[in-house]
Amino acid sequence: MIAVIDYDSGNVRSVCKAIEHVGSKAVLTSDRDTIFAADGVILPGQGSFADCMEKLRRFRLIDILKRFAESGKPFLGICVGLQLMFEKSYEFGEHEGLGIIRGSIRRFPQKKGFPVPHMGWNRVHITRKNRLFHSVDSGSYFYFVHSYFAQSDEDQIAKTDYVVEFTSAVNVDSLWGVQFHPEKSQRVGLRLLKNFCDICEGNL
């Protein structure tokens, strides 16, 4: 069973539907016991970094997410969910994240012809072989909506070019994060979510 974290961040039900579409069971929950008992956790995110962190505090989820990350069971952050996994973000000030992955979150610099937020389809280039991208071709298109990105060369498993070359996927032990939205990325996104479910179920 995959626990999709419910903390009033938006877009969570589409993640659940995508998980069920690839043949796994998803539960949308903010219950601490249910989260810790899950085979894997997905932390979606939508909106500002600080607002999402405040909602995690309000739902009393920060400690349980850190405990789950330390347990060795698979954990996937999506979009702002990836950003929350890092130590800090500089979105409208400086804000502390979950700190389960080293690094920080920065805003895209201004560049003529490149509107921010970065919105739409873009190529994801795999930089390190990884189970999350099993049967996914490097250079595949995924769907993005974001104004900030992770600085994480050390833990990078995929990169994308928009304004600058930025990290679009990371992996540290049993922790994964993707800046794009696999649940909105059609066939290739479903393949990635299927891979994560297979990792959770011990099949990959």
State pLDDT tens for residues 140-177.
999 999 999 998 888 999 999 999 999 999 999 999 99
One-letter amino acid identity for 184? K
Based on the residue annotation, tell me whether 181 is a catalytic residue of this protein: yes
- Token pair listed for 62: 């920060």
pLDDT per position as a tens digit, 81-94: 999 999 999 999 99
pLDDT per position as a tens digit, 3-42: 999 998 867 889 999 999 999 999 999 999 999 999 999 9
Which helix (H) or strand (E) segment holds residue 143: the answer is strand 140-146
Q: Of the listed 95, 183, 197, 200, which one is catalytic?
A: 183
Based on the residue annotation, tell me whether 183 is a catalytic residue of this protein: yes
Where do the domains of the chain lie?
2-200
Query: Among candidates 119, 137, 125, which has minimal Cα distance to 181?
Result: 119
At residue 180, the pLDDT reads: 98
Q: Of the listed 79, 118, 197, 200, which one is catalytic?
A: 79
Q: Answer with the residue of higher pLDDT: 204 or 124.
A: 124
Q: Of the listed 16, 52, 181, 197, which one is catalytic?
A: 181
At residue 12, the pLDDT reads: 86
Query: Among candidates 101, 71, 104, which has minimal Cα distance to 176?
Result: 101
At residue 176, the pLDDT reads: 98
Q: How far apart are CA 60 and CA 182, in angstroms?
A: 27
At residue 152, the pLDDT reads: 84
**Over the chain, what is the mean pLDDT?**
96
At residue 96, the pLDDT reads: 96
CA-atom Rg of the chain in angstroms: 15
**Residue 41 φ/ψ region, left for φ over 0, alpha for ψ in the -120 to 50 degree band, beta for the rest:** beta
Which helix (H) or strand (E) segment holds residue 52: the answer is helix 49-58
* CATH 3.30.1330.10 for domain 2-200: no
Asked if 167 and 177 count as a contact pair (C-beta separation under 8 A), the reply is no
Based on the residue annotation, tell me whether 79 is a catalytic residue of this protein: yes
